[in-house]
Chains A and B, each alone.
Chain A
């Protein structure tokens, strides 16, 4: 084009980024990549390769190895072999390696950016300005954590060999989020990149070689889903970290159930983008561009549901439509491109199908007037307006550049609409009123809340979901915890702790507790003593088979009622930590008054000495004190992220938790599990010890006299494992703790997969509840809460 013509039209021209260096890299491997195992390039034992395609032009970039079970075994073996030495070299040496990785990534940043863009189809602007800088930052940040592990995290130790499976939408970024914390904490890894985007992981492998990372610390095995399954199912893997679809996340949850493999899952989303009427609408529009047209909308935390206050909706829609016109789609390697190619045909087909469905369902579609390039996999930015929550496109994740918009009338309705989803990854809240913003953020069920911004990430802040968006965090101190375990776990017993038996003497117990009046032990639901729905009772016998009493036989309807009651109690959750502490102290006070009675009950049920019974009561009182003390002290962080903002990492209650108490220590087992859960503001449904339930049922008299809001604690007695299964299958229970048999732990994890409820189970290991180190502390609170990161940018 002539200069004069451009001078008059002021159009943009092509501004291509050179692919030469990236092509040189591909050629250096003869466009055929082996597996990276034990620090060496190894041909796949299957002999099979598959193509990696540039989605912007459908051209083959390279052949990638298909790793089979033998290859995965080799990789895991190499990682296992490397582990002892990697642990032994210590914090500082590991820090040096992570630092070197960060430096190398920075030095080769453009090569990584270009390669990523070619392989994935995302614009070079994003890989160059966002993905790769975040990757380098992640390694720098975790080089720091590596350095500090021995001093700051001394109560924890590494897990072992970590299996990591990452998605195609942010290939190298997801690799960094997985590998950096894992190896910084002294673990070794086997990582599988997504089959469509393996190349930057393979370039990263080269960098590992260059810096002399010890062989086997990082292993990269490429392949499809089967390769991932081989990693998931490998016995020598201690943890699986997965980012991808909710569907596959659930499969992994089920596959690893009961195995004791630690799990972190970062899954899908349908994140709300909430615009209040006092927001800076022009900035909102750019926020929407960053929310849903960033990376072609193929972002798990994409702000895909626009909720806008009715009064400004039309004005905002008009602005968005105008902005859609100026977005530029095309060759991802062009520096003036906003939207690149969809990763592959399958994804493009999914998006196309969903959009067609949206139209068929009668939603109003808006697309720019320009058309997409024909030669690659492209999809134009799309906005549906006048969408109702019942529309499929409002509920299902589309994973493409498709925004669905709906209006709300009030703040309350905005929250309800925002939470009307099975997902809970992120939310974005736009208002110039800080009071409103900080009121709304905690009410949204999401692991990340961005105030007046969206899709901002940093290594220092945790990222991860609520609900079916998965669990675990990546980034921040909360993310490190996913790659560590408490050292104390090594001292748990394989057998239930045997209580010291007092000389058998049935008459003693009777004389102590039989008041001569028949007692009916009820359940406790919704702040009331309630009879079992089924109308049955069960006889509870003592250790020598003698009759002790009857307990209500709860059934699934009682569990249902208890969960409903627990959900009705917002009072407990909204109380301040101080106020909850006051209630707990009061509880301890009332228990102390009835010390003797509770001790006698323990003696009756367990046949221990009175002294042991008293000891258990005293410890229970002390334990309540511990959590009362922590209720206003177990708090969050303000993370040092790289943007100008305050990033609050706040522990939040899950909501409703199911607590399945240990069988032993009738009172202490109940107290040790229920009190930490409620101290964080959860409402709980408790299934007490099946063989010794009376300490728990006696306890509701304490609850009634201690100002505990009705419904904060609900107690359902009966057959433990049967009731526990109903709880695990309940979709409105957010988390479940189970202490009992190994087999049932597996059931809990299996059944919890459907709604991705958080599980904390003992895998057949037993804590000695009498031992403070094992029976109480921050670990319990960590498992009774989840971290929400709230990003609050500021500036006058």
Chain B
């Protein structure tokens, strides 16, 4: 089969210019009208339009692993499970499997570790000697309903503790009331508090009533300097879906065309299967292009996804269906 694409950009992971944000300008998004049915139609047909098999599937799944923010955000987190998570992040795939795939020296590791503020120090300990970033959820995660001052304080503390990525939540109250300017000011303030740490802004799309509003909230978050926009905390009743992701990444594309800034995207919550991960990668490739297929610009917020990918990769290597106990747990 001969298929040639003009933009077969090699994924050399160029350092893209960090999004510095732009001044608030409601005219850039106030006319947005997202057609839900059409978006859902595109989302529904996308996975049927593309299929990756054999070594392509293995390579794509390994790419997915490199984009996972390996996450634990539980009430009963302690040092010990955070340390296990770090170990898994550093060595997510069994060495024999990597070797069989010719990927032993490819430095496969997850995109980041994602924890609550209190476990940053443990993560730091667990990740000693690796380049894996530590992401902390912040700003009154998951609801965000605490004073802005407190939220900014949290960010500063987490950055000081060693987090290089901060996942913030937006005030749904402002989104629901379409108070975009205040939202812009809040996110801008968070971005300022982050300093050099990269900021992922969680929209909590499961609590936003329309796709049009999701698109507008995405615009405001990007204008205010978010490095990533992220679908969900994982705590809403509906988490990342393909249609809502499609809406968000189309705004990323427009924002890039307008400003030249590449903003990253992170779907989170409910992504537990290798097949889903492929679907998301297809979505990104088709709608944003190969440039975004890198942990710099794409992450999965997930905890159980890795386990399923490991089993699929073992199946690729051995031809036998695998069992979860054959892979080291996090």
Contact = CB atoms under 8 A, between A and B. Distances in A.
Task: Tell whether A and B belong to one assembly.
Answer: yes
A461 to B, nearest CB: 16
Contacts of A9: 8, 10-11, 290
Contacts of B286: 326
Interface in B189-213: 209-210
B293 A795 contact: no
B1 A330 contact: yes
Contacts of B58: 3
A796 B36 CA distance: 6
A89 B63 CA distance: 61
A453 B37 contact: yes
Interface in B35-69: 35-42, 45, 48-56, 58-60, 62-63
Contacts of A374: 2
B50 A369 contact: no
Contact of A7 (B6, B37, B62): B62
Nearest to A318: B257
Given A335-B51, A370-B4, A10 B250 contact: no
A12 B250 CA distance: 22
Contacts of A14: 1, 53
B15 interface: no
Given A326-B286, A335-B51, A336-B51, A280 B33 contact: yes
A10 B53 contact: no
B320 interface: no
Interface stretch (A263-271, A281-289, A514-522): A281-289
Nearest to B2: A373
B84 interface: no
Nearest to A289: B42
A13 B56 contact: yes
Contact of B59 (A6, A336, A371): A6
Interface stretch (B101-109, B120-128, B160-168): B101-109
Given A283-B39, A286-B42, A329 B3 contact: yes
A329 B2 CA distance: 8
Contacts of A328: 3
Interface string A1-31: 1111011111111110000000000000000
Nearest to A282: B250
B76 interface: no
Say whether chain A's binding surface is mostly helix, strand, loop, or mixed: loop
Taking residues whose C-beta sits less than 8 angstroms from the other chain, chain B's interface range is: 35 or more
Contact of B62 (A3, A325, A453): A3
Interface in A598-640: none
Contact of A278 (B3, B33, B38, B250): B33
Interface string A279-319: 11011001100000000000000000000000000000000
A371 B33 CA distance: 35
B34 interface: yes
B60 A330 contact: no
Given A369-B6, A796-B210, A13 B55 contact: yes
A517 to B, nearest CB: 69
Contact of B38 (A330, A370, A793): A793
A8 B38 contact: no
B55 A334 contact: no
A644 B51 CA distance: 27
Contacts of A279: 33, 35
Given A328-B3, A338-B49, A452 B56 contact: no
Contact of B3 (A4, A12, A128, A452): A12
A80 interface: no
B49 A125 contact: yes
Nearest to A371: B4
A129 interface: yes
Given A10-B11, A370-B4, A283 B35 contact: yes
Contacts of B33: 278-280, 432
A326 B3 CA distance: 10
B92 to A, nearest CB: 14
A336 B39 CA distance: 20
A379 to B, nearest CB: 15
Contact of A452 (B35, B102, B103): B35
A793 B37 contact: yes
B4 A4 contact: no
A385 interface: no
Contacts of B6: 325, 368-370
B40 A795 contact: yes
A8 B11 contact: yes
Contacts of B62: 3, 7
Contact of A331 (B1, B4, B54): B1
Contacts of B2: 330, 371-374
A14 B45 CA distance: 19
Nearest to B292: A10
A129 B48 CA distance: 8
Given A3-B55, A6-B55, A10-B285, A286 B1 contact: no
A645 interface: yes
Interface string B23-40: 000000001011111111
Interface in A759-796: 793-796
Nearest to A10: B293
B209 A796 contact: yes
Contacts of A278: 31, 33
Contact of B55 (A1, A325, A795): A1
Contacts of B210: 796
A763 B1 CA distance: 58
A278 B3 CA distance: 35
A759 to B, nearest CB: 39
A280 B5 contact: no
A280 B35 contact: yes
B7 interface: yes
Question: Which of A283, A328, A368 has most B Cβ within 10 Å?
Answer: A283
Contact of B102 (A4, A129, A280): A4
A471 to B, nearest CB: 30
Contacts of A330: 1-3
Contacts of B40: 795
A393 to B, nearest CB: 25
A227 B8 CA distance: 50
Contact of B50 (A336, A371, A372): A336
Contacts of B5: 325-326, 370
Nearest to B6: A369
B47 to A, nearest CB: 10
A2 B55 contact: yes
Contacts of A283: 34-35, 38-39, 42
A483 B329 CA distance: 65
A790 to B, nearest CB: 14
B103 A4 contact: yes
A14 B50 CA distance: 10
Interface of B: 1-8, 10-11, 31, 33-42, 45, 48-56, 58-60, 62-63, 101-103, 106, 209-210, 250, 281, 285-286, 290, 293
8 A-B pairs with least C-beta separation: A795-B36, A283-B38, A793-B37, A6-B59, A13-B56, A369-B6, A432-B33, A335-B51
20 contacts: A1-B56, A3-B58, A4-B102, A4-B106, A10-B60, A13-B53, A280-B34, A282-B250, A283-B39, A286-B38, A326-B286, A328-B3, A331-B1, A370-B5, A372-B2, A432-B35, A453-B38, A795-B35, A796-B209, A796-B210
Interface of A: 1-4, 6-15, 125, 128-129, 278-280, 282-283, 286-287, 325-326, 328-331, 334-338, 368-374, 432, 452-453, 644-645, 793-796
Given A3-B103, A279-B35, A796-B210, 13 more contacts: A1-B55, A3-B102, A7-B63, A10-B63, A15-B52, A283-B34, A286-B42, A330-B1, A336-B49, A337-B1, A369-B6, A452-B38, A453-B37
